[in-house]
Amino acid sequence: MKLATLRNGRPDGHLVVVSRDLTRFASAGRVASNLQDALDEWDRCAPILAAVSDQLNNGEISGMPFDPDDALAPLPRAYQWIDGSGYMVHLDRVRNLKGSKDEELQDEHPLMYQGGSDSFLAPRAPIVIAEDDQALDFEAEVVVVIGHVPMRPTHEDASGAIRLIGICNDVSLRRLVVNDLQNGFGFFHAKPATSFAPIFVTPDELGAAWSDNRLHLRVRIHVNESLYGQPNAGKDVRFDFADLIVAAAQTRELGVGTIIGSGTIANAHDDILPLKHDGIGFGCIAEARTAEKARIGKARTPFLKPGDKIRINAVDADNRSVFGAMEQVVKLL
């Protein structure tokens, strides 16, 4: 099934079930008032929500037209947002930017940071920055939402705890990264609110696109009208989501509704921007810039600036959107 949260004037919004083709929705208000409530009582709620989904998809319920402009992030706020480093290609490309040191360690144990989860950006909300010289970048990522995970889980415990899958834009202010990491206690100011595509999807609904704790879909990114990337999130994965969950729970249990991020999706290739229509490209601008430095001696793709529009959309083999798209404009405060 596919779930979304519609704006209703309350911080947690209104939970709805969305049709497979993203055109219609049915309220889930009688099952759970919001998505966190549904996750808190997943064993009770999931079968009822699945039945509503079936009725919506087979036409027994006509539903209402689904408009992504009305959607909040599926979890508009969450109790935990942990972002991992699933793709070594991303780390390899941006290592110098981050001033991090130990390549071998990063290949053995995924890096992760605690992200802010108090207010996520809606899929069509502007990305608001306070200054235009902070090197604003996007990071296209896959996320999973989990049930409760005990401390020191097995890989199977971790895999079995995955409830929902989605995509996000881990908005990053590159100019602030080094100060956060080298002079501070870790990522903080460099990681403002994260954006989410409107739909979270259950693993069963994804069929073959979800296997081995990985999402086997292309995630396509446009900045303004230019294609910046369409990496396959299932390729070049060093740490799958079960690995990331196991790593996150080494010194603590993880609460229901914790969101785990894959890190920037990155496939190995020799592309630079502008991208050919069948190119693979990049899940963030920082990688595009380091590739340019290596190939043509200087970084030429600019970071995002006020007025730029960033679109991130995961598509299936028939180019249909699976989670709905994030379409956001950069604005100055």
Query: Where along the sequence are the contacts to its own copies (CB under 8 A)?
Result: 10-11, 40, 77-80, 82, 100-102, 105-106, 111-119, 128-130, 134, 151-152, 173, 176, 180-190, 192-193, 248, 250-258, 333
Smallest distance from the beta carbon of 199 to its own copies, in angstroms? 22
Cβ(115)–Cβ(192) under 8 Å? no
Nearer to its own copies, 192 or 234 (CB): 192
Q: 192 is written with which tokens?
A: 């403002």
Smallest distance from the beta carbon of 33 to its own copies, in angstroms? 11
154-158 contacts at long range (C-beta below 8 A, 24 or more positions apart)? 154/246, 155/242, 155/243, 155/246, 156/242, 158/241, 158/242, 158/243, 158/245, 158/246, 158/249
Nearer to its own copies, 158 or 322 (CB): 158
Is 216 strand, coil or helix?
coil
Cβ(36)–Cβ(12) under 8 Å? yes
Smallest distance from the beta carbon of 122 to its own copies, in angstroms? 14
Smallest distance from the beta carbon of 98 to its own copies, in angstroms? 8
Nearer to its own copies, 17 or 158 (CB): 158
Write phi, then psi, for 188 (nearest 5 degrees): -150, -75
Name the residue among 54, 56, 260, 67 with its Cα closest to residue 165.
260
Q: 129 is written with which tokens?
A: 């920055």
Nearer to its own copies, 54 or 253 (CB): 253
Smallest distance from the beta carbon of 144 to its own copies, in angstroms? 15
Nearer to its own copies, 85 or 267 (CB): 85
Q: 301 is written with which tokens?
A: 């793709």
Is 259 strand, coil or helix?
strand
Smallest distance from the beta carbon of 192 to its own copies, in angstroms? 4
Rg (CA), the chain: 19
Smallest distance from the beta carbon of 247 to its own copies, in angstroms? 9
Cβ(229)–Cβ(280) under 8 Å? yes
Nearer to its own copies, 166 or 263 (CB): 263
Smallest distance from the beta carbon of 21 to its own copies, in angstroms? 33
Cβ(299)–Cβ(286) under 8 Å? no
- State the DSSP code for 207: G
Tally of CB atoms within 10 A around 100: 16
Nearer to its own copies, 172 or 313 (CB): 172
Nearer to its own copies, 66 or 200 (CB): 200
Nearby residues of 317 by Cβ (< 8 Å), 6 or more positions away: none
